[in-house]
């Protein structure tokens, strides 16, 4: 099949194009200056550097929690598993009670922790950069937690289990 290449850069076409790129799903959490738990879902996440160990995640400037993450010194990045679809969707919904239920417990850092996530990265703020309608948060990884669940892949607006290494 040949791709239909056009010069269309309108927002709906660009959004559709980006939906066709498979990505992981992360749930990022912190606590603001008043002690309120804050968080968001992001599929714009990647490893940035091995030395020092840096990751980046992108947060919409329109997000309700944006100001908190602009000032946060630490945050947790949880790589979501299939069983976290409802939580990830809730954290992506404006106005939702993100921390409804008992999915999160205090991490040793005091941050909200999704204990059964396949991967949890504790990050210290390293840098922040403007990126159009997003802020690029760069975190230095200070601790890594590995769990058992299979990470989820987000593709064409659908959550799918990530293929496991060694499986056909």
- The pLDDT tens digits for 1-48 are 555 655 556 678 888 887 777 888 999 999 999 999 999 999 999 999
- Domains present along the chain, CATH in parentheses: 23-150 (2.30.110.10)
- Residues 64-73 have pLDDT tens digits of 999 999 999 9
CA atoms within 13 A on the CB side of 46: 6
The alpha-helical segments, DSSP class H, found in the chain are 11-19, 66-71, 85-91
- Residues 79-115 have pLDDT tens digits of 999 999 999 999 999 999 999 989 999 999 999 999 8
In whole angstroms, give the CA distance from residue 106 to residue 10. Answer: 43
């Amino acid at each position: 099949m040949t791709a239909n290449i056009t010069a269309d850069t309108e927002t709906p076409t660009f959004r559709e194009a980006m939906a066709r790129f498979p990505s992981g799903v992360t749930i990022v959490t912190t606590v603001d200056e008043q002690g309120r738990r804050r968080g968001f879902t992001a599929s714009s996440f990647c490893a940035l550097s091995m030395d020092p160990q840096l990751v980046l995640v992108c947060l919409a400037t329109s997000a309700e929690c944006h100001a908190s993450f602009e000032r946060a010194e630490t945050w947790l990045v949880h790589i979501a598993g299939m069983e976290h679809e409802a939580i990830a969707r809730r954290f992506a919904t404006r106005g939702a009670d993100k921390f409804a239920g008992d999915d999160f417990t205090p991490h040793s850092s005091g941050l909200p922790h999704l204990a059964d996530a396949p991967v949890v990265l504790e990050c210290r703020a390293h840098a922040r950069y403007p990126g159009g309608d997003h802020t690029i948060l760069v975190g230095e990884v200070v601790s890594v937690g590995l769990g058992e669940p299979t990470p989820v892949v987000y593709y064409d607006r659908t959550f799918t289990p990530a293929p496991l290494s060694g499986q056909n």
